[in-house]
Structure 1
């Protein structure tokens, strides 16, 4: 059996969301089309944006999952990243807090998709 290697996020505007994630993550897409954009986040692993189900990409839709970004280093690095993203205009959903797995925060993309930052397990 193979491990999951495609993480798909529904968006309403692929161009706007590409700019958001390009700026947020500091990476360039490996594939771009008008409705589907893919970023390679590890060898053979894609994080993709898709407008094919844009009816799901509205901020009022309940979110039952999150995209995770695990950072190395001390808790202070997580706080610094939160401050930097908020200064860039990213909407904070949950400010930095301590959980059982360490320091964490949650932000939202323009469509309300959640991104959680936490320490490396």
Structure 2
């Protein structure tokens, strides 16, 4: 059975968002095109920034998704990530708190897409 291996994050400004995600995750994209930039997060698994068709890109187009980063270790790992990311000036949507699945926080990318950090399941 096939399993999902590409996760798209809709963005308005691919170049700006590429810089944001490269800095935040400390990784480089697999390739860069004007409207599509993939990052390999595991062998054969990508998340990609995508602006859509060039004639359909407007700031008014909703960009809403949530990308998850599950960290190994204790809640201290989540808190350390929060400290590192806030030092980079990310937009905090939800400060660290304990949830049913463990410690978590949420930040937003330049388009308002959410990035949730939590412990590994």
TM-score scaled by structure 1? Answer: 0.90
Q: RMSD of the TM alignment (CA)?
A: 1.7
SS at match of 1:3: coil
- Partner residue in 2 for 1:31: 31
Change (3 A) 1:80 1:38: same
- How far has the Cα of 1:114 moved from its partner? 0.2
Runs of 4+ in 1 over 3 A off after TM superposition: 60-63
Mapping for residues 91-102 of structure 1, pairs under 5 Å? 91-102=91-102
- How far has the Cα of 1:77 moved from its partner? 1.3
- Partner residue in 2 for 1:45: 45
- How far has the Cα of 1:33 moved from its partner? 0.4
- How far has the Cα of 1:79 moved from its partner? 0.8
- How far has the Cα of 1:7 moved from its partner? 0.3
- Partner residue in 1 for 2:15: 15
- How far has the Cα of 1:51 moved from its partner? 1.1
Equivalent residues of 2:38, 2:48 under 8 A apart: yes
Partners of 2:90 and 2:76 lie apart in 1 by 19
Equivalent residues of 2:63, 2:111 under 8 A apart: no
- Partner residue in 2 for 1:2: 2
- How far has the Cα of 1:62 moved from its partner? 7.7
Pair 1:73-2:83 in alignment: no
1:39-73 Cα distance to aligned partner (Å, 9 max, x none): 00000011100111644x66x9484x410000011
Mapping for residues 97-108 of structure 1, pairs under 5 Å? 97-108=97-108
